[in-house]
Amino acid sequence: MEIEHLETAVPTVLLAGTDPAEAWVRDAMPAAADLEVTPECEGARELATDADVDCVVVAPKEGEDPEAVADLRSAHESLPIVYAPAEPDGEAAAAATDAGATDYLPRSTASADALADRIERAVERFDRRRQADREQSMFRELLGTLPMSVYFKDREARHVAVTTHTTSAFDKEFLGKTDLELYADEIGEELAGEAYEDDLRVIETGERVVRREERHVTPEGEEIWLETTKVPWRDDDGEIVGLIGMTRDVTDAKRRELELEEETRRLEQFASFASHDLRNPVSIATGYLEEAMDGEDPSHELEAVAEALERMDDLIDDLLNMARPETDREIEGWAALEEVARRAWTVAATDSASLTVHCPEGTEIKADEGALRQLFENLFSNAIDHAGPDVAVEVGLTETGFYVEDDGPGIDPEDREQVFDYGYSTGGTGVGLAITEEIADAHGWDPRVEESDAGGARFVFDGVIRRPPPVTEVEPAEPVTVDRRTDVDGATPPGEATQSGEDAWTLRGGGSNVWGDVEEYFAVHGPASGDLRIEARVADLEAVHEYSKAGVLLAEAVEADAVLGFAGITAAHGAETAWRPTGENMIETQQFGAVEGTPAYVRLDRLGDRVTAWVSVDGQRWEAIDQRVLALPAEVRVGLAVSSHSPERSSEATFEDVRVVGIEPRE
């Protein structure tokens, strides 16, 4: 890398000496050069600084020792100093050289031309040294303050210099390591390997990589976008010695771009929704209105018209809700699954079609009632459209959600991934199932298509929170003592726990993460059995990473690969749950915006094999955020956990109001 700079055109020379020496120096100086003179050597140090000189000629009086040289050198590390005594003196020459003189030139034996040559060469060396120092200073400032990731790599694609912005975002030592060594755990070996191969290609071929956008998903599931430029790094001879790279986080810009695309898509959905979902109640209202106008007693028909218009009003509200950005939507309340399904059936069904609902009486799920009804209507209409007017439809519960299935011709396996796409159809409008997926996504459900037992279509919605029955807190069968400490899977730095009261703890622990096949955290825990509740207020969390976390834990055992449930708070991403339903599963995590940061209350309720995660801002009004069925034994471990998301640094979490109690459904 070559940096252009201004050459020193006219040197400034400082003479520290007597009048005869001044004449000798002036004869050696170019006409355009500047000469500063101080008769006393003792004043040279201050004047050299004030005048910003390029070279100093020290011309001592006879017998004067070279103290001025040492004084100058102590203040100016690289300044050229020519020591020019009146007569040759070997002892004085050695002393001057030891003191830091760069040249020795007795005046009685040296011509003015010799002095001019010495000054010219000394100034050139000083200018190069000064420019190199300036470039080093600029380089250090660049690496220390540039608000983006800039890095230099050698021919083996190993980092040799990086900006502070880069290192501050990771708890890693970069120098001497390749992208494959640094990022394989963060983004996976495949993506890290592609970045490494890119580096080698730039270094070997000299080809540039300019403004390449890359999508990454963090271990916690957060999507980020990076824009990268890489160019060859060449030496003064033009040989490639490595590469220079620059990476910017363009996530915000990419999100804005995707938001604009989403808004465009929503406008298209608006028109499709209006023509599809509003047409049915309009047709019903029109038909009954015609019958009322022709009949003698229109009361029944007008009631049907009123009901259809009421449904249209609900649909318009749902339409406006769908047109809002998803981040503005809030899913509140509980909906009775069977009741909503049967109400939707009255709108969509034919006289010869049948509906069967298999779920315990009073089953409620966390859902917006109007949106859930719309989802059922679309699925019922889809079944009738494709299976015919005599279709048999069934609604029931799965372990983690619900299903809607029919006995029609079903959906070919190769088409199942596309049925939720807007415009995709095998006979309908291509809108109903797309809206169904929109509703599921807004609730955080995971929809999929399977084959029913009768060979028809089966739509399954997972990730649904089933409302637990009202419970009463009771004393646990055995007193729960939370006192055992464990660094799971050798989490580092080692954890510490201090109990500051009967229900207050401070935990300090490390660990890389709790996600996927990584399970490193520190916990304090104890045994418990039966149906129970563990609850705590996370009063404070000292974060070393945006995904540092602290919360309550319920597990088969506090060790790697055990069945577990976790509900806690992250440093920058709200509440978080972590689940391993069986010992064969990877750990799944999910973040929720129901609470932001600390203090916040978190809770896990175990009823049978179903565990529900709750959060609260005040410990009074609780919101269910997640739920799983866990293969837990009767006796489990319950406690508090913290993971810093760093194997080198610990996070400290303060817990208050810690409670472990038994629970039982109310009579």
Kindly state whether residues 371 and 317 are assigned to the same domain: yes
SS3 49: helix
pLDDT at site 218: 62
What are the pLDDT digits (tens) for 363-399? 999 999 988 998 998 899 889 988 999 999 999 999 9
DSSP per-residue letters across 457-474: EEEEEESPPBPPPPEEEE
Kindly state whether residues 16 and 123 are assigned to the same domain: yes
pLDDT at site 172: 58
Band (pLDDT 50/70/90 cuts) for residue 542 is: very high
Residue 43 structural domain = 12-137
Of the candidates 429, 462, 495, which is a domain's last residue? 462
Band (pLDDT 50/70/90 cuts) for residue 115 is: confident
Tokens at 353, concatenated: 């079609």
Tokens at 445, concatenated: 């459900």
Question: What residues form DSSP beta bridges with 605?
Answer: 533, 612
Kindly state whether residues 133 and 32 are assigned to the same domain: yes
SS3 660: strand
C-beta atoms surrounding 625 within 10 Å? 24
Tokens at 256, concatenated: 């804005």
Residue 631 CA: distances (Å) to CA of 246, 557, 579, 636: 48, 12, 11, 11
pLDDT at site 145: 59
Kindly state whether residues 443 and 297 are assigned to the same domain: yes
pLDDT at site 42: 59
Kindly state whether residues 532 and 597 are assigned to the same domain: yes
- Answer whether residue 420 shows pLDDT above 80: yes
pLDDT at site 60: 82
The answer to whether the beta carbons of residues 245 and 230 sit under 8 Å apart is yes
Indicate the range of 34-48, 92-106, 371-385, 633-647 predicted with least confidence: 34-48
Whether 539 is in a domain gets the answer yes
Whether 6 is in a domain gets the answer no
pLDDT at site 553: 98
* Average pLDDT, integer, range 392-411: 95
Closest CA to 208 of 216, 217, 199: 199
pLDDT at site 649: 93
Closest CA to 632 of 568, 577, 582: 582
pLDDT at site 325: 43
pLDDT at site 425: 58
Whether 257 is in a domain gets the answer no
Kindly state whether residues 62 and 150 are assigned to the same domain: no
What are the pLDDT digits (tens) for 444-483? 999 999 999 999 999 999 999 999 999 999 988 778 889 8
Round to whole Å and give the CA distance between 656 and 536: 6
Range picked from 118-122, 423-427, 518-522 for highest mean pLDDT: 518-522
Structure letter (DSSP) for residue 608:
T
Kindly state whether residues 310 and 346 are assigned to the same domain: yes
Q: Give the rounded distance of the alpha carbon of 361 from its chain centre.
A: 43
Round to whole Å and give the CA distance between 508 and 140: 35
Structure letter (DSSP) for residue 543:
-
Q: What is the CATH number of the domain that holds 269?
A: 3.30.565.10
Provide the domain count of the chain. 4
Band (pLDDT 50/70/90 cuts) for residue 618 is: very high
- B/e letters for 59-93, b = 16+ CB within 10 Å, e = fewer, are bbeeeeebebbbbbbeebeebbbbbbbbeebeebb
Whether 615 is in a domain gets the answer yes
What are the pLDDT digits (tens) for 249-277? 777 777 787 777 766 766 666 556 555 56
Range picked from 97-101, 145-149, 321-325 for highest mean pLDDT: 97-101
Round to whole Å and give the CA distance between 113 and 425: 95
- B/e letters for 652-666, b = 16+ CB within 10 Å, e = fewer, are bbbbbebebbbbeee
Q: What is the CATH number of the domain that holds 578?
A: 2.60.120.200
Whether 405 is in a domain gets the answer yes
Kindly state whether residues 394 and 511 are assigned to the same domain: no
- Answer whether residue 159 shows pLDDT above 50: yes
* Average pLDDT, integer, range 266-290: 64
pLDDT at site 3: 46
Whether 4 is in a domain gets the answer no
Whole-number mean pLDDT of the chain?
83
pTM above 0.75, yes or no: no
Rg of the chain (C-alpha set):
39
Round to whole Å and give the CA distance between 242 and 156: 8
What are the pLDDT digits (tens) for 423-449? 555 554 456 688 888 889 889 999 999
Between 663 and 257, residue with greater pLDDT: 663
Strand ranges for 50-168 from DSSP E: 55-59, 81-83, 103-104, 149-154, 159-162
Closest CA to 337 of 309, 312, 307, 360: 360
DSSP per-residue letters across 107-133: TTT--HHHHHHHHHHHHHHHHHHHHHH
Round to whole Å and give the CA distance between 333 and 34: 86
pLDDT at site 327: 39
Kindly state whether residues 439 and 531 are assigned to the same domain: no
Band (pLDDT 50/70/90 cuts) for residue 314 is: low
Between 548 and 423, residue with greater pLDDT: 548
- Answer whether residue 400 shows pLDDT above 90: yes
Q: Please name the amino acid found at residue 348.
A: A
Round to whole Å and give the CA distance between 274 and 266: 12
Closest CA to 606 of 530, 538, 659: 530
pLDDT at site 36: 72
Closest CA to 307 of 283, 278, 289, 281: 281
pLDDT at site 32: 47
Kindly state whether residues 301 and 216 are assigned to the same domain: no
Report the percent of the chain where pLDDT is more than 90.
40
Indicate the range of 97-111, 149-163, 171-185 predicted with least confidence: 171-185
Q: What is the CATH number of the domain that holds 197?
A: 3.30.450.20
Question: What residues form DSSP beta bridges with 511?
Answer: 646
- Answer whether residue 283 shows pLDDT above 80: no
- Answer whether residue 601 shows pLDDT above 70: yes
Tell me how many degrees the CA angle 21-27-29 measures, rounded to the nearest 5: 100
Tokens at 604, concatenated: 């896990």
Q: Give the rounded distance of the alpha carbon of 621 from its chain centre.
A: 29
Round to whole Å and give the CA distance between 95 and 60: 13
pLDDT at site 351: 86
Q: What is the CATH number of the domain that holds 62?
A: 3.40.50.2300
Kindly state whether residues 94 and 194 are assigned to the same domain: no
Place of tokens 């050289």: 97
SS3 20: helix
- Answer whether residue 586 shows pLDDT above 60: yes
Indicate the range of 40-44, 69-73, 594-598 predicted with least confidence: 40-44
Round to whole Å and give the CA distance between 249 and 118: 53
Tokens at 482, concatenated: 């939370």
Kindly state whether residues 46 and 156 are assigned to the same domain: no
Whether 398 is in a domain gets the answer yes
- Answer whether residue 171 shows pLDDT above 60: no
Whether 7 is in a domain gets the answer no
pLDDT at site 187: 66
pLDDT at site 165: 52
